Copies of this chain bind each other. A is one copy, B any other.
Amino acid sequence: GDPFTVGGETFTSRLLLGTGGVPSLEALEASVRASGTQLVTVALRRVEASAGGAMMAVLDRCGVRLLPNTAGCRTAREAVRTARLAREAFDTNWVKLEVIGDEHTLLPDAVELLDAAEQLVAEGFVVLAYTTDDPVLGRRLADAGCAAVMPLGSPIGSGLGIRNPHNIALLREAVSVPVVLDAGIGTASDAAQAMELGCDAVLLASAVTRARDPERMALAMRQAVEGGRQAKLAGRIPRRWHAEASTSFAGLPEL
């Protein structure tokens, strides 16, 4: 129908999932299947932990592609090193690049992020960069060769949705690579709004994994992402200050 291409690969699902916060392997598998996702991001640190093998088995069984991330890295140096290790561990040159500038908010550090992105692109990585909603930084990441720019709607895990839709729209105008809304999604309407703003896809984790019913929320997000995408393509009505009667006969001579 309406495929989404990033890094030369094409996906029919526009919903990417993270695994952080998932309450059980059963919930993980149910959520992944309900979401229809084809791309799941995993932290190297998590997978190296004792139960990592079991999680990998679940994801393998679901047939999803893995997107290693550099969650928890604070400097370009640390992120580059983690990306290299992940490349070995997961046998993929794709990486979701995270360079965090603050423990409290987990917001990205613009300077370290751009530095890491340039290095990783030079080393042949397919870099999907988690970034602020700053359109200029987004364009610099795209210019540096990132395969996708992934702006946050609000801080990771906050569930505050898209705090600045204006910036997301400006960023969308500023780059030609895919834009994936990443972080801050709390509920289905947030995901739909991301797509309506022109994002190509949505990545979320805790909105699903920490919901009361993760599997059901995964389904909700799938529907919302698809609905938001269709609405964007369908061309919404303009906003009007005053009402316009929907039962008007004006311009409708044939009915």
Residues of chain A at the chain B interface (Cβ within 8 Å): 18, 20-25, 43, 45-46, 49, 51-52, 54-55, 69, 71-72, 101-102, 104-111, 114, 132, 134-137, 139-140, 154-160, 163-164, 166-167, 170, 174, 186-193, 196, 205-207, 209-214, 216-217, 219-224, 226-231, 233-249, 252, 254-255
Contacts and interface: CB of A to CB of B under 8 A. Distances in A.
A140 B109 contact: yes
B188 A139 contact: no
A166 to B, nearest CB: 5
Given A135-B102, A227-B221, A245 B188 contact: no
Contacts of A238: 159
23 contacts: A24-B254, A55-B255, A71-B245, A101-B139, A107-B134, A156-B246, A157-B243, A159-B238, A163-B167, A164-B167, A187-B236, A188-B224, A188-B231, A189-B228, A191-B227, A192-B224, A207-B237, A211-B234, A212-B234, A220-B228, A220-B234, A223-B227, A224-B228
